[in-house]
């Protein structure tokens, strides 16, 4: 029987992975796509967004095709949750054309791909390709890697740098494993800045890896699917910082916490509070849903760096509570202070 092609979507926090997957689901060109979402945080924000993309029928396909793993990185939990999840999907291989796996922004891609060498999975699925999603605006403004010119100069001056932060190593490992880079939010920088970002990225990638600019996650499925790379068979050509380690340790200082309240917030007031919180604590990412006074629509809020955006995605359902739910991901977060501040 044929192997199901699996596309792994990796990338740093807030880079736009969920948006790209949502667009793929809404423009699947007849493909029957199953999605596995790995969520870092105790509230399944990304999974909910995908389930509400309104491309699934009313019989609950979204609940069965989209599997949310909420207990940490896939590379840590694959033996506990990923294997049975894949086995269940493989039982339905005649109903599935391809599988998308959205990794946590904090997950290394290679340990996940190595799982496709397991006998239980190898005969039924193959990693078709790895797509790394990169936020052009964030890199250009220094929210993640700092000043690009300074970083390039530093790397050119010293090829044996060993003082990288865990997040820098993670970013490099994601790029090293990629078959393609999806460069998002290019409409928010000028042409010269975009070229500068692409030039820097190209130096970090294998020569054959292409960079594809993207606005709003809108990308033709034919571009992201169908690499036929069988990545699990050539991992040796994709070097990682963790190749010599038996197991990798996560940066335990990077944590997630959540805020849930049975109350409404005015958007402008909430954004000011969150921006103030970002100044007080090292918050990498904020995402969630907000109840807004006198609004029948649910508000989706996403924040990365010092940038906070929001939009209304759908009406509140009669069966659900009008709650404000926010997930915070960052370093050494003080949950109590976040709770009291909000």
Question: 177-206, pLDDT tens digit by residue?
Answer: 999 999 999 999 999 999 999 999 999 898
Name the strand (E) or helix (H) holding 116: none
Tell me whether strands 33-38 and 98-102 are parallel, antiparallel or unpaired. Answer: parallel
- In angstroms, rounded to a whole number, what is the distance separating the alpha carbons of residues 266 and 274? 12
The torsion angle over the Cα atoms of residues 194, 200, 204 and 208, rounded to 10 degrees, is 60
Judge whether residue 328 has pLDDT over 50. Answer: yes
pLDDT at residue 146, as a whole number: 36
pLDDT at residue 55, as a whole number: 65
256 vs 62: which has the higher pLDDT:
256
- Please check whether the domain covering 4-224 is classified as CATH 3.40.50.300: yes
- Phi (first) and psi of residue 172, to 5 degrees: -65, -40
Judge whether residue 76 has pLDDT over 70. Answer: no
Of 251, 256, 254, give the one whose Cα is nearest residue 327.
256
pLDDT at residue 51, as a whole number: 74
Sequence-ordered strand ranges (E) for the chain: 4-11, 33-38, 66-69, 98-102, 125-135, 180-184, 210-213, 254-261, 282-290, 297-304, 307-315, 324-331
> Mean pLDDT score of the chain, rounded to an integer?
80
67 vs 293: which has the higher pLDDT:
293
Mean pLDDT of 127-146: 81
pLDDT at residue 341, as a whole number: 93
- In angstroms, rounded to a whole number, what is the distance separating the alpha carbons of residues 50 and 67? 11
Judge whether residue 161 has pLDDT over 50. Answer: no
90 vs 84: which has the higher pLDDT:
90
Sequence-ordered strand ranges (E) for 12-119: 33-38, 66-69, 98-102
**Residues contacting 151, CB < 8 A, separation 6+:** 145, 200
pLDDT at residue 194, as a whole number: 95
Percent of the chain, pLDDT > 90? 35
Residue 166: pLDDT band with limits 50, 70, 90: low
What is the CA 110 to chain-centroid distance, rounded? 15
List every span in the chain annotated with CATH 3.30.1220.10: 228-341
Structure confidence by residue, pLDDT tens digits, 212-260: 999 888 888 888 898 888 899 888 888 776 666 554 455 556 778 889 9
What is the CA 58 to chain-centroid distance, rounded? 27
Of 44, 110, 119, 109, give the one whose Cα is nearest residue 83.
119
Q: In CATH, which of 3.40.1190.10, 3.30.200.20, 3.90.79.10, 3.30.1220.10 is domain 228-341?
A: 3.30.1220.10
Neighbours of 110 (CB within 10 A): 24
Judge whether residue 149 has pLDDT over 60. Answer: no
Residue with tokens 């090829």: 159
Structure confidence by residue, pLDDT tens digits, 19-44: 898 888 888 888 888 888 866 666 67
Q: Is 67 helix (H, G, I), strand (E, B) or coil?
A: strand
314 vs 167: which has the higher pLDDT:
314
Pair 111, 8: CB distance under 8 Å: no
pLDDT at residue 65, as a whole number: 57
107 vs 288: which has the higher pLDDT:
288
> Judging by beta carbons within 10 Å of its beta carbon (0-12, 13-18, 19+), is residue 197 exposed, middle or buried?
buried
Name the token pair of 86. 């894949």
> Interior CA angle at 161 toward 13 and 140, to 5°?
40
From edge to edge, which strands make up the β-sheet containing 307-315?
A: 254-261, 324-331, 282-290, 297-304, 307-315
List every span in the chain annotated with CATH 3.40.50.300: 4-224
Tell me whether strands 307-315 and 254-261 are parallel, antiparallel or unpaired. Answer: unpaired
Judge whether residue 293 has pLDDT over 80. Answer: yes
pLDDT at residue 156, as a whole number: 56
Name the token pair of 180. 């393609």
pLDDT at residue 84, as a whole number: 81
Mean pLDDT of 84-110: 83
Pair 21, 49: CB distance under 8 Å: no
């Amino acid at each position: 029987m044929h192997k199901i092609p699996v596309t792994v979507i990796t990338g740093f926090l807030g880079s736009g992975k969920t948006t790209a997957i949502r667009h793929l689901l809404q423009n699947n060109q007849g493909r029957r796509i199953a999605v596995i979402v790995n969520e870092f945080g105790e509230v399944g924000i990304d999974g909910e967004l995908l389930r509400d993309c309104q491309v699934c029928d009313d019989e609950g396909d979204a609940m069965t095709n989209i599997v949310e793993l909420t207990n940490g990185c896939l590379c840590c939990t694959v033996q506990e949750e990923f294997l049975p999840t894949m086995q269940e999907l493989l039982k339905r291989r005649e109903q599935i054309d391809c599988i998308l796996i959205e990794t946590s922004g904090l997950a290394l891609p290679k340990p996940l791909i190595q799982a496709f060498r397991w006998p239980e999975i190898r005969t039924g699925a193959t990693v078709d390709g790895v797509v790394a999603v990169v936020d052009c605006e964030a890199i250009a403004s220094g929210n993640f890697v700092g000043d690009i010119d300074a970083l390039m100069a530093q790397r050119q001056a010293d090829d044996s740098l060993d003082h990288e932060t865990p997040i820098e190593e993670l970013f490099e490992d994601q790029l090293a494993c990629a078959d393609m880079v999806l460069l998002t939010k290019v409409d928010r920088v000028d042409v010269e800045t975009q070229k500068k970002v692409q030039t820097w990225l190209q130096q970090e990638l294998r020569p054959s890896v292409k960079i594809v600019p993207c606005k709003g996650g809108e990308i033709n499925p034919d571009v992201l699917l169908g690499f036929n790379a069988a990545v699990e068979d050539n991992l040796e050509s994709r070097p990682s910082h963790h190749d010599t380690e038996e197991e990798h340790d996560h940066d335990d200082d990077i944590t997630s916490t959540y805020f849930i309240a049975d109350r409404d917030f005015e958007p402008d007031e909430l954004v000011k509070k969150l921006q103030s919180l970002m100044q007080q604590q090292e918050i990498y990412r904020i995402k969630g849903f907000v109840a807004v006074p006198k609004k029948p629509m649910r508000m989706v809020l996403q924040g990365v760096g010092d940038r906070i955006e929001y939009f209304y995605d759908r009406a509140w359902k009669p069966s659900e509570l009008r709650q404000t739910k926010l997930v915070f991901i960052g370093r050494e977060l003080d949950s109590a202070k976040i709770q009291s501040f909000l």
